[in-house]
Amino acid sequence: MIEISFKNIKKIYPGEKIALDDLNLEIKKGEFLTVIGPSGCGKTTLLKMINGLVMPTQGELLIHGKNIKDIDIIALRRKIGYVIQQIGLFPHLNIEKNISYVLKIMGVEEDKRRKRAEELLSLVGLEKETLEMYPRELSGGQQQRIGVIRALAADPPIILMDEPFGAIDEITRKTLQDELLKLQERLKKTIVFITHDIEEAMKLGDRIALINKGKLEQIASSKEMFLILELLL
């Protein structure tokens, strides 16, 4: 089943800057798609478009078979988890309230929010006591774990991740990659993961999409991409 479909998508920003150029891409339900490409190639525009932060200039973007222009954007965003490199935790809220922030907006009862936060915390190997702590009391790796599970709080079918591990040391980064793979094996979300690191892309992705100058240059499984790169190098 196709969950996200880009059909002849073009995005032109003011000043005639083309961010995406006649892009066609289908993302399957439960697929982990990694997206790579040079800086400024259109990767983040692609991600923001799925979340309704950017709208196509031309073409159709279908989410669950519906044109994004016909979808309630607020309702859509509540069904999409978003994880960024800067994490974006609220410094004045403790970890429990950070994790359950979207649930509170949705009107979920406090005891259910607490239970959900505890469940998610256990998924990434953090102690229950962490819920009472504040972001400043956690390491960078711990904060990023919270950022990931916060995106899972409302059990969204789609998770968008924009270079989430880019600012973390190498050892912690590999640990988080492993944890993300374990989570995906268990939860089977549709994940679109932006990275500039080809090794990370190949480790995590079921398929890898290579974007260059707004165009989809190549899409292949990790194994196929490895063979393509071997031939090129």
Reported as a single tens digit per residue, the pLDDT across 108-120 is: 999 999 999 999 9
pLDDT at 88: 78
Burial 150-172 (b: 16+ CB within 10 A, else e): bbbbbebbbbbbbbbbeebeeeb
Question: How many domains does the chain divide into?
Answer: 1
156, part of any domain: yes
Residue 169 has pLDDT above 70, yes or no: yes
CATH number, domain with residue 191: 3.40.50.300
17-28 and 2-13 beta bridge pairing = antiparallel
- Count CB-CB contacts under 10 A for residue 112: 11
112, part of any domain: yes
- Residue ranges making up the domain that contains 36: 31-44+73-232
pLDDT at 232: 54
10 pLDDT tier (thresholds 50, 70, 90): very high
Residue 122 has pLDDT above 60, yes or no: yes
